[in-house]
Amino acid sequence: RHALAANDFERAARHIELARRTMDLTDRFEPWRQWMKALPDSVVRQRPVLLVSYAWAHLIFDGELDACEQYLQEAEQWLNMSEADRDELGMVVEDEEAFENLPVSIASARTYAARAAGDIDGAIKHARQALDLLPEDDYLGRAFPESLLGLCYWASGELSSAYEKLDNSYNGFQRSGNVIAAISIKLVQADIQLVQGRLHDARQTCEQALQLVSGQGDLNLRGTANLLLSLSELHREQGDWKTADDYLQQSTSLGNPASSSNYQYRKRVALAQIKASQGAFAEALDYLDEAASWLGEVHLREIRPLPAIKVQVWLKQGRLGEALAWVKQQGLSIDDELSFLHEFEHMTLARILMAQYRNGHADAAIHQAARLLERLFKAAEAGKRTGSIIKILILQALAQEAQGNISLALTPLTQALTLAQPESYVRPFVDEGPPMAALLRDVVRQGISVEFAQQVLAALGETAVTPPPAQPLLDPLSDREIEVLQNIAEGLTNQEVANRLYLSLHTVKVHARNIYAKLDVKNRTEAVARARSLGILPPT
């Protein structure tokens, strides 16, 4: 500050370059950025370390991708010169270690910029370039580019690869004592586990990060509010409203207005979803509008884009026209190439088509929705995204319910319940409201997934439904055997049953043999008839 006040820019630049390595990226970076702005361009452009640092500032804080690239290219020009040319043109380097690391920093910046622009393939290419420049045993140096590569894999739906790279990054940050970065890695890993439908593991991941914070003895550590918010959301997904509210209150008490823009954005989206679930749609939209004001500072594309979240609230309000306008603006189609990055938007499109059918019984719309959902199901299945599969199955059930095909609706709904029960994954069902409650009552009356279906009904505020009397068999069929038998009753082959229920063909055959033995029959036709006569399956 003294050097700048005296207009001694060379001296100021020297201190600014050396200070950069000790300035935290968000908490203390703003003063550093203001110092940089006070330097004449001619001074900055002689210093490749400052050029790359300034590129990162434009990228992280301003989202100015073109300005970032311009500074990176100028830094590269210095790197590509001979020593003689550097001396002749007056290159200045104060931080030799930072200068040696510039190729890695440049590749990392381009990774971040490409991902922010939605160019995932380009981002992966640059991240690999950064890692290729570092020795395999340089765990600390590799931590940041590994995290960027993990985020790229995450955005492209390669969840296992993303988790592995993020784990490598976490270990590097933890070894270096960078707890804040380690926490942020754990938060992304928990998000991945949520998409995989692994809610218990996601909670454990967040709790592990919370222990890391506790070990520092400072709950005000940046990132803690975000961590508590994630724990709140995970408990809410499992229907534990009280614990969710407790974590949300703790998070809010730590997340002051100076907290990261990412936290401010996420908190408002979470509050909007709570309000929407309570039927307070106007308040939900207010929170989403507030979230939008922070979105400009969140430069990496969200897996659940804010406009699509808003559209889903509009649908609950009956604002179908505005939702259709959004589809047109986005250029969405049921024939689009599907990707994880756009999965939420295409699921929103399916909801809009279903709403069209409910409003005017447009047969074309419901058939389009069914076709899109089938494509989304196959894509999620290929990507092993169980969390997505559960939500798609729920939409398939609601599409059948909208057409009055209750028996057909119960098949995907039963699959969804079977997948969700081990993780107590309640919220996707609860968020669908009365239509889902009606279907769940039918599920219980048929004796399918009774315990979990009753749990979801309770979360919906519905009274318990009396299940059917116990099976009149000495050795009753298990829930899974009943599920296999239901699919057999639909006329599916063993292979088709295996594909639908995510079982091996051998396992389905074993279930079929057990079913025949318990029902004392010899084939599938006899099994279905016997089950109907006993009330295990509904009559035709």
Distance in angstroms (rounded) separating the CA atoms of residues 185 and 151: 10
pLDDT of the residue at 297: 47
pLDDT of the residue at 300: 53
pLDDT of the residue at 344: 97
DSSP calls for 165-228: HHHHHHHHHHHHT-HHHHHHHHHHHHHHHHHTT-HHHHHHHHHHHHHHHHHHT-TTSTTHHHHH
pLDDT of the residue at 524: 93
User: Which segments in the chain show pLDDT lower than 70?
Assistant: 22-29, 255-259, 296-301, 468-471
Amino acid identity at 56: W
pLDDT of the residue at 462: 87
Distance in angstroms (rounded) separating the CA atoms of residues 256 and 253: 7
Per-residue HEC secondary structure of 18-69 comes to HHHHHCCCCCCHHHHHHHHHHCCHHHHCCCHHHHHHHHHHHHHHHCCHHHHH
pLDDT of the residue at 52: 94
Instruction: Report residue 354 as tokens.
Output: 């279903």
Q: How many angstroms separate the Cα of 455 from the Cα of each of 29, 178, 380, 458?
A: 49, 42, 26, 5
Residue 51 region by backbone torsions, left for phi larger than 0, else alpha for psi between -120 and 50, else beta: alpha
Containing H/E element for 386? helix 386-402
Residue pointed to by tokens 């430069």: 299
Nearest to 151 by CA among 132, 124, 119: 124
pLDDT of the residue at 26: 47
> Are 140 and 366 spatial neighbours (Cβ–Cβ below 8 Å)?
no
pLDDT of the residue at 471: 64
